[in-house]
Amino acid sequence: MKYIDEFRDGATARKLAEAIAREADPRRTYRIMEFCGGHTHAIARYGIADLLPPNVRLIHGPGCPVCVLPIGRIDAAIALALERRAILCTYGDTMRVPASEQLSLMKAKARGADIRMIYAASDCLRIAAEHPGREVVFFAIGFETTTPPTAVVILEAARAGIPNFSVFCNHVLTPSAINHILESPEVRGLGTVPLDAFIGPAHVSTIIGSQPYEFFAEEYEKPVVIAGFEPLDVLQAIRMIVRQLNEGRAEVENEFTRAVTPEGNAKAKRLVAEVFELRRSFEWRGLGEVPYSALRVKERYRPFDAEARFGIGYRSVPDHKACECGAILRGVKRPQDCKLFATACSPENPMGSCMVSSEGACAAHYTYGRFRSRAA
């Protein structure tokens, strides 16, 4: 597969790892947070942590939009299907997320809810056309990568005057989340979890560009290197971060130049701005309320806003008391530090956001790295 296989070459990976080991200063530690579910996955799947010297540590950030989706929002989606009898269209990732009362979308489906898994947002419009007598709701989730397709379907629905389609919008914003982590007491004030640098998300950055990260580099004086999705990209980005830290620089660098420009995708951004506006605040599972971190459908497109159309209220539902997801998402604790990890909490029976999707730190560790901590 072109532009995929070359970026997964094992021999090159080892050379990059050796270069990192050579350049890393043995007198210090490098704490690097990656903020992209795709990166979490690549790191775990290829065992990248195994290749790095012990003083270069990777910390998993809240890079998974499914994981940070609050229980209350899933409850609302389930209610749309079970109680309001809408056809609920969703990406596969959300199907198994546990919500209140032992339900999930998958379980609600077993109870008779009409829940359909889709691969592309445009599938919703097809379903709406096929079922003119039913309400069709798109359970829209995702960061900036996935938001533009939602904008496109709303615009198409508006253009075509589709009467039975709306979107339950749960799109969230990357820079807000990074900011929230950096503003958290542990990181900003107390310095107990020193985070030295960030690996910037791959595909979010194709949309928003590299420019929005300048703020972090300046304000917090931490380097940000945007990395491509493949393991060699991640290793090269780590190498670039190590160099920046050694040289005392705090800049935004772009490793993923083949898909990311400073400006990003202007057309996509324009379409998103046409359809969506910022919410003043939004609850993130594990992080609490985060200001200006999520989107809602603009007044102009109200007929396509499921929250307005169905009068959806929101009830916040807390996680299990012993769940350490909040600390794990901020890089303060590791999965294995949580009492519930691999005991009460597992991919089959996730108790918190980090275990819910395969991108979550706990799920990735459980699936790929659990044996290491057992052996240790």
Partner 1 sequence: MRRLDFKRGRIDMTHGAGGRASAQLVEELFRAQFDNAWLASANDGACFAVPAGRMVMATDSHVVSPLFFPGGDIGCLAVHGTVNDVAMMGARPLYLTAGFILEEGLALADLRRIVESMGRAAREAGVSIVAGDTKVVEQGSGDGVFITTTGVGVVPPGVNPSGDRAQPGDRVIVSGTLGDHGVAIMSQRENLGFATTIESDTAALHGLVEAMLAVAPDLHCLRDPTRGGLATTLNELASQSGVGIVLDEQALPIRPEVAAACELLGLDPLYVANEGKLVAICAPADASRVVEAMRAHPLGRRAAIVGTVAQDAHRFVQMETSFGGKRMVDWLVGEQLPRIC
Partner 2 sequence: MCLAIPARVVELLPGEMACVEVGGVRKDCSLALVDGISVGDFVVLHVGYAIQRLDATEAERTLALFAEAGLAA
Work out the angle at residue 92's Cα, subtended by the Cα atoms of residues 91 and 96, and round it to the nearest 5 degrees.
120
Choose, by CB under 8 A, the member of 91, 139, 276, 341 that binds partner 2. 91
In angstroms, how far is the first alpha carbon of the chain from the final one?
37
Q: Which is nearer to partner 2, 65 or 223 (CB)?
A: 65
Q: Pick the piece of the chain touching partner 1 (CB under 8 A) from 2-10, 18-26, 132-140, 261-269.
A: 2-10
Residues from 147 through 186 that contact partner 1 (CB under 8 A)? none
Residues from 166 through 225 that contact partner 2 (CB under 8 A)? 201-204, 206-207
* Tokens, residue 24: 């890393």
119 sits near partner 2 (criterion: CB under 8 A):
yes
Instruction: Tell me which of partner 2, partner 1, none is bound by residue 48, counting a contact when its beta carbon lies within the kind-specific cut-off of 5 to 8 angstroms.
Output: partner 1
Q: Pick the piece of the chain touching partner 2 (CB under 8 A) from 11-19, 288-296, 306-314, 326-334.
A: 11-19
Distance separating alpha carbons of residues 228 and 209, to the nearest angstrom: 13
358 sits near partner 1 (criterion: CB under 8 A):
yes
Residue partners of 275: CB distance under 8 A and separation at least 6? 150, 151, 154, 155, 297, 298, 301
Choose, by CB under 8 A, the member of 164, 182, 344, 369 that binds partner 1. 369
Element (H, E) at 297: strand 295-297
Element (H, E) at 246: helix 231-246
**DSSP-derived secondary structure for 204-224:** HHHHH-SGGGHHHHHHH---E
Instruction: Tell me which of partner 1, partner 2, none is bound by residue 46, counting a contact when its beta carbon lies within the kind-specific cut-off of 5 to 8 angstroms.
Output: partner 1
Instruction: Tell me which of partner 2, partner 1, none is bound by residue 267, counting a contact when its beta carbon lies within the kind-specific cut-off of 5 to 8 angstroms.
Output: partner 2
| 3-class state of residue 343 by DSSP | coil
289 sits near partner 1 (criterion: CB under 8 A):
no
Residue that the structure tokens 């490098």 belong to: 30
Distance separating alpha carbons of residues 157 and 166, to the nearest angstrom: 9
Strand-pair category, 197-200 with 165-171: unpaired
45 sits near partner 1 (criterion: CB under 8 A):
yes
Q: Pick the piece of the chain touching partner 1 (CB under 8 A) from 5-13, 24-32, 158-166, 291-299.
A: 5-13
Choose, by CB under 8 A, the member of 62, 70, 98, 142 that binds partner 1. 142
Q: Pick the piece of the chain touching partner 2 (CB under 8 A) from 121-129, 179-187, 284-292, 324-332.
A: 121-129
Nearest to 149 by CA among 120, 183, 185, 113: 120
User: What is each CA distance from 240 to 30, 121, 209, 263, in whole angstroms?
Assistant: 12, 36, 18, 21
Distance separating alpha carbons of residues 95 and 117, to the nearest angstrom: 8
User: Measured from the CB of residue 50, what is the shortest distance to partner 1 in angstroms?
Assistant: 4
Residue partners of 368: CB distance under 8 A and separation at least 6? 44, 45, 47
| 3-class state of residue 80 by DSSP | helix
> Which residues make up the interface to partner 2 (CB under 8 A)?
1-4, 6-7, 12, 15-16, 18-19, 22, 36-38, 63-66, 91, 119-123, 142-143, 145-146, 148-149, 152, 201-204, 206-207, 228-229, 232-233, 236, 239, 255-260, 265, 267-268, 271, 359
In the complex, the residues that contact partner 1 under the rule CB under 8 A are 1, 4, 8, 10, 13-14, 37-38, 44-51, 64-66, 91-93, 95-96, 106, 116-119, 123, 142, 146, 231, 347-348, 357-359, 366-371, 374
